[in-house]
């Protein structure tokens, strides 16, 4: 491609609405243009990158025996009602775009395809002889994200590879899951990215687990906790560990004590000159179940620890039956305004005890969701860290007062449900080896592989007949990879002050031939010859034949991040050209006849 003929526009300044380097660079270098919130055009350079990523994905998927397919993006509501996800995906903060067609039928734009594929499996898979099966597609997904941001990182329209496998049993599912783990590792190695596979939260599904693939980068939205021995890595949402030991309490007799102005753990521990590890802190949450029931949740946890809301949400989902619901659609810390909707009297915030009376909840208030109401009793949960404490300090249900030297089973009844909802953090001891402490890193989640089991086959009735002629539920796995997010994550991991530095395997072009002065016939002639020969040799090459100053061309080449720049400048007098490697900035003069073979060697080597 000749730059003189390409729709090629670079920006000198950072666009105002871009916050992270990769977003700024992709906009500045003319890879993407914003069309609306979370909606981007992939311009020709970007599309080439996306195609390269897709091709690597495709090759590694096909190598495992998975079959490429293409499923419809328009999905009838019935399928989502069968799986039970229609409401959670469309109501409240649901992220599915839903519309009504001319026949008054509800349709959605696919945010994911479990329902569609399970429908197909139900329809087409009859016998164990047809199993296992694994279908995948590379396609645009639609999600009405609450906070679209960072360009392609969190779009409302984005490209995903999603694969779904079906099996006779868990063992067969595990095998494919392991094959995917390997395939993903191969892909990331081929992309040329630093990555880490980490244990991930599987949400309400729980069970046999899931793994995320993180591209390591400072701007990542996710925190990864890992140990240096390489034995453990998990998303902070999922991570488990041992906290520091609690300091044993010096308050050996129980009393209620006046503690003015101590509504935070910090102020309280200073006032009482005690360690936060001797305090039981009681944190109030408000959970909204899908049937509209609002449940006020009181979590008692050790004062120096924080609640992991993902773990808490999972615990709340386990209790759905108590509230005749199917799932939890929202979990928040209720602010003053939210409290006003259900409190009968003012809460002693900062001084709440584990036994705060249920009559703080007004009788029979209606939830805003139709038919819903507020559950009249607090749901009391105690985290393991707090359940273990003796002679602890906690609130006295009265502003300005705390209980000192309290014990479970004496002054306070231990809540029925003991849970692990504590947030692991760097410095905690690892469970597999207490000598190892957790380290932290930031990552961008680009892939997520999942053992779903019968989560969809059960509600949708997708079965097969086994060797004994019995009808059995299909076991299912799903394997996602954010193609467009990955392309931007690659930039986030690899850039410098002058622009993008693409890994060779996914660069839009391998090389760019730059003519410093297009009025110089000899420069043009050699550049044209190299441009033709390189492309003929399979080295994807751009020709910068624009009528611009050399400095402008060099700047643009750096900005768009093409791995190798070939300059037909002064050296041509000696039968040579200058070749500059974008990554190292190494520059060397190479004989014109050797350019093709030299680059071929480098590119092969870089691709590994
Ligand atoms: P996140 O927690 O970041 O919202 P998710 O758990 O919703 O991700 P999945 O449903 O597992 O993601 O989707 C599979 C992959 O699709 C993710 O690993 C990610 O790479 C990509 N992805 C998800 N949402 C978006 C989005 N809004 N924009 C771009 N890529 C996305
Ligand atoms: Mg999401």
Which ligand has the minimum distance to the alpha carbon of residue 479? 1
**Can you spell out the DSSP letters for 262-287?**
--SHHHHHHHHT--GGGBEEEEEEEE
Tell me the longest C-alpha to C-alpha distance in the chain: 96
Residues 6+ positions from 378 with CB-CB distance below 8 Å = 296, 297, 298, 356, 358, 361
- Give the chain's radius of gyration (CA, Å): 29
Predicted local confidence at residue 341, as pLDDT = 84
Say how far apart CA 296 and CA 7 lie, in whole Å.
57
Predicted local confidence at residue 88, as pLDDT = 83
Strands 379-383 and 294-302, bridge-based pairing:
parallel
Q: Would the CB of 30 count as within 6 Å of ligand 1?
A: no
Predicted local confidence at residue 124, as pLDDT = 98
| HEC readout, 80-133 | HHHHCCHHHHHCCCCCCEEEECCCCCEEEECCCCHHHHHHHHHHHCCEHHHCCE
Predicted local confidence at residue 163, as pLDDT = 98
Q: Are residues 539 and 601 in contact, defined by beta-carbon separation less than 8 angstroms?
A: no
Which residue among 480, 481, 490 is best mutated to probe the pocket of ligand 1, counting the most ligand atoms within 8 A of its Cβ?
480
Q: Would the CB of 21 count as within 6 Å of ligand 1?
A: no
- What are the residue ranges in the chain where pLDDT is below 70? 203-208, 364-372
In this structure, which residue's CA is closest to atom 1 in ligand 1?
445
In the block, tokens 């599915």 appear at 96
Predicted local confidence at residue 260, as pLDDT = 96
Predicted local confidence at residue 220, as pLDDT = 92
Q: Would the CB of 485 count as within 6 Å of ligand 1?
A: yes
In this structure, which residue's CA is closest to atom 13 in ligand 1?
480
Predicted local confidence at residue 368, as pLDDT = 58
Q: Would the CB of 113 count as within 6 Å of ligand 1?
A: no
Q: Would the CB of 222 count as within 6 Å of ligand 1?
A: no
Q: Would the CB of 445 count as within 6 Å of ligand 1?
A: yes
Q: Rounded to the nearest whole angstrom, what is the distance from the C-alpha of residue 95 to the centroid of ligand 2?
A: 8
Q: Would the CB of 154 count as within 6 Å of ligand 1?
A: yes
Predicted local confidence at residue 608, as pLDDT = 81
In this structure, which residue's CA is closest to atom 24 in ligand 1?
154
Predicted local confidence at residue 366, as pLDDT = 61
Say how far apart CA 447 and CA 180 lie, in whole Å.
11
Q: Rounded to the nearest whole angstrom, what is the distance from the C-alpha of residue 494 to the centroid of ligand 2?
A: 24
Picking from 459, 451, 449, 479, the residue whose alpha carbon sits closest to that of residue 119 is 459
In the block, tokens 């002693």 appear at 348
β strands within 18-69, DSSP E: 32-36, 39-42, 67-68
Say how far apart CA 32 and CA 152 lie, in whole Å.
9
Task: Give SS3 for 24.
Answer: helix
Q: Are residues 351 and 395 in contact, defined by beta-carbon separation less than 8 angstroms?
A: yes
Residues 6+ positions from 362 with CB-CB distance below 8 Å = 342, 343, 344, 374
Q: Would the CB of 112 count as within 6 Å of ligand 1?
A: yes
Measured at the CA of 346, the angle between CA 343 and CA 347, to 5 degrees, comes to 85
Picking from 47, 54, 50, 121, the residue whose alpha carbon sits closest to that of residue 83 is 121
Say how far apart CA 62 and CA 517 lie, in whole Å.
47
Sorted by where each starts, the structural domains of the chain and their CATH numbers stand as 3-240+440-491 (3.30.930.10), 255-419 (3.90.960.10), 509-607 (3.40.50.800)
Which residue among 113, 448, 451 is best mutated to probe the pocket of ligand 1, counting the most ligand atoms within 8 A of its Cβ?
448
β strands within 303-406, DSSP E: 328-332, 379-383, 392-395, 401-406
Say how far apart CA 283 and CA 263 lie, in whole Å.
12
- For residue 112, give the ligand 1 atom closest to its CA: 10
């Amino acid at each position: 491609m000749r730059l003189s003929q390409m729709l090629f526009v670079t920006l000198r300044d950072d666009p105002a609405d871009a916050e992270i380097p990769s977003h700024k660079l992709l906009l500045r270098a003319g890879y993407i243009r914003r069309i609306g919130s979370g909606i981007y055009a992939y311009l020709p350079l970007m599309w080439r990158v996306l195609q390269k990523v897709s091709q690597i994905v495709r090759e590694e998927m096909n190598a495992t025996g998975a079959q490429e397919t293409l499923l419809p993006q328009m999905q009838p509501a019935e399928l989502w009602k069968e799986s039970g996800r229609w409401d959670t995906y469309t109501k409240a903060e649901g992220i599915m775009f839903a519309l009504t067609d001319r026949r008054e039928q509800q349709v959605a734009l696919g945010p994911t395809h479990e329902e569609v594929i399970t429908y197909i499996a139900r329809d087409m898979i009859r016998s164990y002889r047809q199993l296992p099966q694994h279908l995948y597609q590379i396609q645009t997904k639609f999600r009405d994200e609450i906070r679209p941001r960072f360009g392609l990182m969190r779009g409302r329209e984005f490209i995903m590879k999603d694969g779904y496998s079906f099996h006779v049993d868990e063992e067969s599912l595990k095998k494919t899951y392991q094959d995917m783990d390997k395939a993903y590792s191969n892909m990331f190695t081929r992309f040329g990215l630093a990555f880490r596979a980490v244990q991930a939260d599987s949400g309400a599904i729980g069970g046999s687990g899931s793994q995320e693939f993180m591209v390591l980068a400072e701007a990542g939205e996710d925190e990864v906790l890992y140990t240096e021995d390489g034995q453990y890595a998990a998303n902070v949402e999922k991570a488990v560990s041992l906290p520091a030991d609690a300091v044993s309490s010096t308050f050996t007799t129980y009393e209620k004590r006046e503690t003015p102005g101590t509504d935070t753990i910090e102020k309280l521990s200073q006032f009482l000159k005690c360690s936060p590890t001797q305090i039981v802190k009681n944190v109030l949450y408000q959970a909204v179940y899908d049937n509209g029931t609002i449940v006020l949740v009181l979590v008692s946890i050790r004062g120096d620890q924080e609640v992991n809301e993902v773990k808490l949400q999972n615990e709340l989902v386990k209790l759905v039956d108590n509230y005749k619901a199917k799932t939890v659609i929202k979990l928040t810390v209720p602010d003053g305004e939210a409290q006003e909707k259900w409190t009968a009297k003012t809460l002693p915030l900062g001084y709440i005890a584990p036994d705060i009376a249920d009559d703080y909840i007004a009788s029979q208030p209606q939830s805003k969701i139709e038919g819903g109401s507020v559950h009249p009793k607090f749901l009391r949960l105690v985290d393991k860290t707090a359940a273990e404490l003796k002679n602890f300090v906690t609130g006295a249900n009265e502003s300005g007062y705390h209980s000192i030297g309290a014990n479970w089973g004496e002054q306070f009844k231990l809540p029925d449900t003991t849970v692990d909802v504590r947030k692991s953090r760097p410095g905690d001891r690892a469970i597999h080896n207490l000598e190892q402490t957790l380290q932290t890193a930031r990552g961008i989640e680009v892939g997520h592989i999942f053992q779903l089991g019968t989560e969809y086959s059960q509600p949708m009735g997708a079965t097969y007949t086994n060797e004994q002629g019995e009808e059995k539920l299909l076991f299912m796995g799903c394997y996602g990879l954010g193609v467009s997010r990955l392309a931007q994550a690659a930039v986030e991991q690899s850039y410098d002050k002058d622009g993008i530095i693409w890994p060779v395997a996914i660069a839009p072009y391998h090389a760019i031939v730059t003519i410093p002065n297009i009025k110089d016939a000899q420069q043009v002639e050699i550049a044209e010859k190299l441009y033709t020969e390189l492309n003929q040799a399979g080295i994807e090459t751009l020709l910068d034949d624009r009528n611009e100053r050399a400095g402008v061309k060099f700047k643009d080449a750096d900005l768009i991040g093409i791995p190798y720049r070939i300059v037909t400048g002064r050296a041509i007098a000696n039968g040579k050209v200058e070749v500059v490697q974008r990554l190292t900035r190494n520059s060397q003069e190479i004989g014109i006849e050797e350019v093709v073979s030299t680059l071929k060697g480098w590119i092969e080597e870089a691709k590994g």
